[in-house]
């Protein structure tokens, strides 16, 4: 039995007998009378939510015809039971009401109370389904909100604000995006943020780490296979491209994809079609492709390990995710964010915060593993701490390689010098190449090189 019933009557109160029949059937407590379409539409957006609506037909509210009333309500809610109430049996009127969105057509007159009781019992089963669907919709909405919070890019630095701005600009454009950055910088978070802001947020987000799938399985993993395509293929299997239909396919570590297979990905990106393993029919892909790498693809192209054509197709927009060491002030923000989230997840640890020395050490540490490393360090420190304040001993920051002697500042400087020298060596002395290897802008690398390295001839 519906417990929240709305009844739209004309000014002449032609539905008084229906109201009395509803009351007789036990629905008086949840019955509300509305006098106009405007009032009815406003009421539909409030709690408690209406579970069935009766509309005088064809009168409506005498300002808006009953057909238009039904259409207006149905445009707002595809499931809400709507009953058109007529004064006489009319086949054409019933057809018009159903075409406009009515769930049922009720004729006033003899045995009205009995027919209203039967109608409410019948509609009660529909109402129960609508209730469950509404509960699921709210659950899904809460899930999407929590996912949005989970995958938001935390930080206040200019660099991360620039990333958010770029995401906002490219999200709605249905073209591939390449996300580049060092390991642990949050490239998948950027991809998920693009997906969430793209208008496809309620569609699938499917991720594949290209480095984790053997070359022999990669084609079946991405494109799927037909039954009988190979030994053990006893049924049709949909690959990642089909699983991501209408949504987003995220190809992580795309630089690890074999060169021959890059040609197949290029075709999908370029023509939006592919063929399942063992199949002959082309399948159309509606998935948006996002890709990520921590490799210098320009160098990979020069070395012949990455297709220039594929890069050109993927790089409609390139989002550079900055390393944590370049995000001025974000270590403090992220550390507190990860600590709060971890304590919410494990409330038995109690309330905690960082002491001043611990926070200072975090802000001075180089974080070669970037945001992922910071999260691990913070959670481990919260677990180790037996008080309400995390100190340097709880952090247990790893020492930089080869810098076991000297003060903290001296050891940090030695580690920075080592990074600069290693990048220069790998780049054969080319500072622009060394800067790319470290994820630095050229002027940033020049600053560190002048600061940390001994003067050279001509410099």
Q: Distance (Å, rounded) from C-alpha 344 to C-alpha 452?
A: 42
- Judge whether 84 and 66 are in contact, CB under 8 Å: yes
Among 277, 303, 302, 200, CA closest to 244: 200
346 and 299, same domain (yes or no) = no
- Judge whether 313 and 353 are in contact, CB under 8 Å: no
pLDDT at 165: 92
User: Is the residue at 164 inside a domain?
Assistant: no
Q: Is the dihedral of CA 96, 99, 100, 105 positive or negative?
A: positive
122 and 220, same domain (yes or no) = no
pLDDT digits (tens, 9 = 90+) for 7-19: 988 788 888 899 8
Among 188, 293, 300, CA closest to 249: 188
Q: Distance (Å, rounded) from C-alpha 392 to C-alpha 384?
A: 11
Q: Mean pLDDT throughout 233-244?
A: 88
202 and 283, same domain (yes or no) = yes
237 and 273, same domain (yes or no) = yes
- Name the percent of the chain lying above pLDDT 90: 46
288 and 336, same domain (yes or no) = no
CATH assignment at residue 361:
1.10.8.60
315 and 330, same domain (yes or no) = no
Look at residues 263, 290, 320 and tell me which one is the last residue of a structural domain. 320
Domain that holds residue 348: 325-395
184 and 291, same domain (yes or no) = yes
User: Is the residue at 458 inside a domain?
Assistant: no
Q: What is the pLDDT confidence band of residue 458, given thresholds at 50, 70 and 90?
A: very low
106 to each of 88, 127, 265, 278, 289, how far by Cα in Å?
A: 9, 18, 58, 57, 52
pLDDT at 459: 40
Look at residues 282, 298, 320 and tell me which one is the last residue of a structural domain. 320
From the number of C-beta atoms within 10 Å of its C-beta (0-12, 13-18, 19+), residue 337 rates as middle
pLDDT higher at 293 or 422: 293
User: Is the residue at 402 inside a domain?
Assistant: no
Average pLDDT over the chain, rounded to an integer: 86
CATH assignment at residue 31:
3.40.50.2300
pLDDT at 145: 52
181 and 298, same domain (yes or no) = yes
Q: Is 347 helix (H, G, I), strand (E, B) or coil?
A: helix
Q: Distance (Å, rounded) from C-alpha 257 to C-alpha 63?
A: 65
How many Cα atoms within 13 Å fall on the side-chain side of residue 385?
25
Q: Is 5 helix (H, G, I), strand (E, B) or coil?
A: strand
Instruction: Give counts: helices (H), strands (E), the chain.
Output: 19, 16
Q: Is the dihedral of CA 445, 450, 454, 457 positive or negative?
A: positive
294 and 344, same domain (yes or no) = no
Number of domains composing the chain: 4
Q: Distance (Å, rounded) from C-alpha 46 to C-alpha 155?
A: 37
- Judge whether 176 and 202 are in contact, CB under 8 Å: no
367 and 302, same domain (yes or no) = no
Q: Checking DSSP bridges between strand 248-252 and strand 237-238, what pairing results, if any?
A: unpaired
On the question of pLDDT at 300 being above 50, the answer is yes
User: Is the residue at 403 inside a domain?
Assistant: no
Q: What is the pLDDT confidence band of residue 457, given thresholds at 50, 70 and 90?
A: very low
Q: What is the pLDDT confidence band of residue 370, given thresholds at 50, 70 and 90?
A: very high
User: Is the residue at 213 inside a domain?
Assistant: yes
**Token couple for 250:** 């995220």
From the number of C-beta atoms within 10 Å of its C-beta (0-12, 13-18, 19+), residue 375 rates as buried
pLDDT at 414: 77
Q: Mean pLDDT throughout 330-355?
A: 91
User: Is the residue at 163 inside a domain?
Assistant: no
**Token couple for 64:** 């808006």
> Distance between alpha carbon 393 and the CA centroid of its chain, in Å?
37
On the question of pLDDT at 304 being above 90, the answer is yes
Look at residues 279, 298, 320 and tell me which one is the last residue of a structural domain. 320
174 and 301, same domain (yes or no) = yes
On the question of pLDDT at 323 being above 80, the answer is yes
Q: Mean pLDDT throughout 252-280?
A: 91
Cis peptide before 34 (omega within 30 of 0): no
CATH assignment at residue 223:
3.40.50.300
Residue 341 phi, psi dihedral angles, 5° rounding: -65, -40
Going by the DSSP 8-state scheme, the letter that residue 315 receives in this structure is T
pLDDT at 313: 95
pLDDT at 176: 96
Residues 6+ apart with CB under 8 A from 116: 18, 21, 22, 24, 25, 106
User: Is the residue at 420 inside a domain?
Assistant: yes
pLDDT at 334: 94
Residue 354 phi, psi dihedral angles, 5° rounding: -90, 140
Residue 320 phi, psi dihedral angles, 5° rounding: -90, 120
pLDDT digits (tens, 9 = 90+) for 122-171: 877 777 777 776 676 665 555 555 544 455 788 989 999 999 999 999 99
41 and 121, same domain (yes or no) = yes
Q: Distance (Å, rounded) from C-alpha 337 to C-alpha 342?
A: 9
Q: Is 197 helix (H, G, I), strand (E, B) or coil?
A: helix
pLDDT digits (tens, 9 = 90+) for 247-257: 999 999 999 99
The widest CA-to-CA distance across the chain, in whole angstroms, is 108
Helical spans, DSSP H, in 60-208: 66-76, 91-100, 112-150, 158-170, 187-197
pLDDT at 25: 81
User: Is the residue at 239 inside a domain?
Assistant: yes
Q: Mean pLDDT throughout 432-453?
A: 81
CA angle 282, 288, 289 (to 5 degrees): 90
């Amino acid at each position: 039995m519906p417990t929240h019933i709305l009844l739209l009557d004309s000014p002449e109160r032609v539905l008084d007998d229906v109201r009395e029949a509803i009351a007789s059937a036990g629905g008086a407590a949840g019955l509300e009378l509305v006098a106009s379409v405007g009032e009815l539409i406003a009421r539909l957006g409030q709690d408690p939510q209406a579970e069935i609506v009766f509309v005088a037909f064809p009168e409506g509210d005498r300002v808006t015809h009953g057909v238009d009333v039904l259409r207006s309500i149905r445009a707002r809610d595809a499931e809400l039971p709507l009953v058109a109430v007529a004064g006489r049996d009319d086949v054409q009127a019933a057809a018009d009401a159903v075409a406009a969105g009515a769930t049922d057509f009720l004729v006033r007159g003899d045995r009205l109370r009995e027919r209203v009781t039967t109608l409410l019992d019948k509609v009660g089963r529909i109402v129960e389904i609508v209730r469950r669907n509404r509960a699921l919709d709210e659950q899904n909405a809460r899930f999407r909100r929590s996912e949005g919070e989970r995958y938001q890019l935390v930080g206040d630095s200019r660099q991360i604000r620039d990333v958010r701005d770029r995401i906002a600009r490219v999200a709605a454009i249905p073209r591939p995006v390449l996300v580049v950055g060092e390991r642990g910088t949050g490239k998948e978070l950027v991809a998920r943020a693009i997906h969430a802001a793209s208008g496809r947020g309620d569609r699938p987000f499917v991720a594949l780490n290209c480095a984790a799938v053997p070359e022999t399985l990669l084609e079946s993993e991405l494109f799927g296979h037909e039954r009988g395509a190979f030994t053990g293929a006893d049924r049709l299997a949909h690959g990642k491209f089909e699983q991501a239909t209408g949504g987003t396919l995220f190809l992580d570590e795309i630089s690890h994809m074999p060169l021959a297979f890059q040609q197949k990905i290029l075709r999908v990106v370029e023509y939006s079609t592919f063929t399942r393993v063992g199949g002959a029919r082309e399948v159309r892909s509606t998935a948006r492709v996002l890709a990520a790498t921590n490799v210098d693809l320009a160098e990979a192209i020069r070395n012949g390990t990455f297709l220039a054509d594929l890069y050109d197709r993927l790089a409609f927009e390139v989002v550079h995710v900055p390393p944590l060491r370049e995000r001025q002030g974000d270590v403090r923000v992220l550390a507190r964010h990860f600590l709060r989230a971890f304590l919410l997840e494990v409330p038995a640890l109690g309330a905690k915060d960082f002491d001043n020395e611990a926070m200072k050490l975090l802000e001075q540490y180089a974080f070669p593993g970037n945001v992922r490393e910071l999260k691990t360090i913070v959670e481990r420190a919260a677990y180790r701490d037996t008080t309400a304040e995390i100190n340097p001993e709880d952090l247990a920051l790893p020492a930089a390689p080869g810098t076991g002697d000297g003060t903290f500042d001296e050891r940090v400087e030695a580690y920075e010098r080592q990074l600069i020298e290693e990048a220069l060596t790998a780049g054969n002395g080319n500072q622009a190449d060394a800067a790319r290897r470290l994820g630095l802008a050229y002027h940033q690398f020049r600053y560190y090189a002048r600061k940390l390295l001994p003067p050279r001839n001509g410099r």
